[in-house]
């Protein structure tokens, strides 16, 4: 199963060149792009209505970095995100939408997964039980199928109970949708899940639904970039036999040597260098990460192309990579683009 090459958009370099091929259509809310995932922030509920990312076999199996549990507010949310005080003594977990386990291939991606905009109040038995099982199964599928396109989030509806000073909504249900494309035979397959926010009962397959059903429940349009004739078929049905429900848990690759903390390269509003310490590959702390404000200009930073070209890299099967890239060396991020 190879990378889907029908339509591919790349974000500019400061967003990490992560593929945005199937970004959900946002009904409302602020769309925010991070290094490896995007989200749509629903201010009235103080959490994301959806989170979207591409999950490759490498990313799903990498265990290079250990989680730091650096839960914090998201500076990119213009209205202000939920805060730590919202969850304190609430009885609910700060449940990841884009899992930290899917981001362990990059220190920056892993760190950004701990923004509170990527959290939703989850019952502990749900977060640590069936939700965790589904996250693990999705990683197993990504390893076996090369790449998946994942969208996930809470079902936000009127009348939900609230926690904390910012009145964060407590969802009654959560969803996840996954899309896979088999280039060899030109087939598509998608599957959805709707799970109640409580201790799970029975196998994960019992919670499987069509993408259409998730769309009806949430009002979100998933995978709208597919041709209408294909989207209608793919989202209408589910093919349980396509997905390996007995997939073996992912064996993580070795961890990287410990990265020493260094002084942030950012510049404060007073014009002096930031004193925070960071282990991020970018050299910036969470206050300056992903923002052009307060960053030092890199004198030797390579200029990006203004138009994309096809990657010159070669896949494991020996075929030419079908990704597009803005890198000067004509290679996508997976093949060492700059």
CA–CA separation, 29 vs 151, rounded Å?
16
CA–CA separation, 190 vs 210, rounded Å?
8
* Closest among 171, 179, 129 to 24, alpha carbons compared: 179
Which residue ranges make up the annotated binding site for Mg(2+)? 127
Number of DSSP helices (H) and strands (E) in the chain, helices first: 7, 15
CA–CA separation, 131 vs 273, rounded Å?
42
Q: Read off the tokens for 198.
A: 């409580």
Q: Read off the tokens for 233.
A: 């078929």
The CA–CA distances, whole Å, from 165 to 76, 84, 119 equal: 20, 10, 16
* Closest among 164, 189, 166, 168 to 177, alpha carbons compared: 189
* Closest among 300, 295, 321 to 309, alpha carbons compared: 321
CB-CB contact of 216 with 25 (8 Å): no
DSSP string, 7-61: ---B--GGGT--B-TTPPBPSSSEEEE-SS-EEEEETTTTEEEEEEEEEEHHHHH
DSSP string, 120-165: EEE-HHHHTTHHHHHHHHHHHHHHHHSEEEEEEEE---TT--EETT
Q: Read off the tokens for 318.
A: 């020996």
Which residue in the list 33, 34, 96, 123 is annotated as catalytic? 96
14 is catalytic: no
Which residue ranges make up the annotated binding site? 127
CB-CB contact of 73 with 116 (8 Å): yes
Looking at the annotation, which residues are catalytic?
Answer: 96
């Amino acid at each position: 199963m190879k990378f889907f090459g029908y339509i591919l958009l790349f974000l500019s370099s400061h967003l990490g060149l992560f593929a945005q091929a199937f970004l959900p259509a946002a009904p409302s809310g602020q769309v925010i792009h991070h290094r490896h995932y995007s989200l749509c922030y629903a201010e009235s509920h103080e959490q994301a209505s959806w989170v979207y990312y591409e999950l490759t076999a490498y990313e799903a199996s990498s265990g290079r970095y250990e989680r730091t549990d650096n839960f914090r507010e998201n500076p990119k949310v213009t209205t202000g995100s939920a805060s730590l005080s919202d969850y304190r003594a609430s009885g609910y977990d700060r449940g990841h939408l884009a899992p930290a386990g899917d981001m362990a291939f990059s220190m920056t991606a892993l760190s950004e997964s701990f923004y509170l905009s990527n959290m939703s109040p989850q019952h502990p038995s749900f977060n640590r039980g069936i939700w965790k099982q589904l996250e693990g199964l999705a990683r197993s599928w990504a390893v076996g199928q090369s790449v998946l396109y994942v969208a996930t989030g809470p079902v936000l509806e009127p009348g939900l109970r609230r926690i904390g000073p910012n009145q964060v909504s407590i969802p009654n249900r959560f969803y996840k949708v996954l899309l896979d494309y088999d280039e060899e035979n030109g087939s598509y397959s998608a599957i959805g899940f709707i799970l109640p926010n409580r201790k799970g009962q029975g196998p994960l397959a019992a919670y499987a639904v069509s993408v259409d059903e998730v769309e009806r429940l949430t009002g979100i349009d998933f995978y709208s970039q597919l041709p209408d004739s294909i989207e209608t078929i793919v989202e209408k049905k589910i093919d349980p036999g396509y997905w390996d429900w007995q997939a073996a848990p992912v064996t993580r690759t070795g961890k990287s040597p410990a990265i020493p903390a260094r002084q942030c390269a950012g510049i404060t509003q007073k014009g002096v260098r930031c004193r925070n310490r960071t282990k991020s590959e970018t050299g910036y702390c969470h206050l300056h990460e992903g923002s052009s404000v307060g960053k030092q200009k890199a004198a030797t930073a390579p200029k990006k192309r203004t138009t994309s070209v096809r990657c010159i890299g070669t896949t494991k099967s020996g075929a030419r990579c079908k990704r597009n890239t803005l890198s000067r060396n004509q290679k996508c991020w997976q093949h060492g683009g700059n």
